Amino acid sequence: MEGKNCKVYQAPFDVRLPVHSKKNEDIFTVVQPDICVICDRSKLDEAGCIGAPDLIIEILSPGNNQKELKYKYKVYEESGVKEYWIIHPEEQTLLIYSLTAGNFVPSKLFTNGDIVGSRCIEGFSMDLEDVFRDLD
């Protein structure tokens, strides 16, 4: 993200997703994405991020991710996360959900060897071959 206003954070990093009020005592949804990218620095405070990051990347671990995926998908969509990337290391796949008119629209399934770019962060791309090599 060199030369950009965006900053990358990795877990543990709290993302507080307000519904009606940005007061801490009124926020009940707090998540810790594996990786998140925040381009609006006004969302940052001493406790982490308040409001939706531009991009969230979750890396699935072995086991049952179904419940967590369903919950996070809904929360991220409702909160206005522009892109939600799900990396599945065992299958070496990536699925991107892009927010369009308030709803997530899935990408095609990307696999090892694809170079994938972000729609919401200009100039950001990843070579999945490098990603999966690093996750081994």
Assess contact for 104 and 97: CB atoms under 8 A: yes
User: What pLDDT, on the 0 to 100 scale, is given for residue 1?
Assistant: 44
Decide if pLDDT at 23 tops 70: no
User: What pLDDT, on the 0 to 100 scale, is given for residue 27?
Assistant: 60
**CA torsion 25→29→30→34, rounded to 10°?**
-170
pLDDT per residue as tens digits for the range 68-118: 788 889 999 999 999 999 999 989 999 999 999 999 999 999 999 999 999
Decide if pLDDT at 127 tops 90: yes
- Average pLDDT for 29-46: 91
Residues with Cβ within 8 Å of 74's Cβ and at least 6 positions away in sequence, in order, are none
**Domains in the chain: boundaries:** 7-135
Take residue 128 and report the two structure tokens written for it.
């999945």
Take residue 86 and report the two structure tokens written for it.
């799900």
CATH class of 7-135: alpha beta
Q: Of residues 111 and 4, which shows the higher confidence score? A: 111
Give the burial string for 70-89 (b: 16+ CB within 10 Å, else e).
Answer: eebbebbbebebbbbbbbbe
Sequence letter at residue 75 = V
pTM metric for this prediction: 0.87
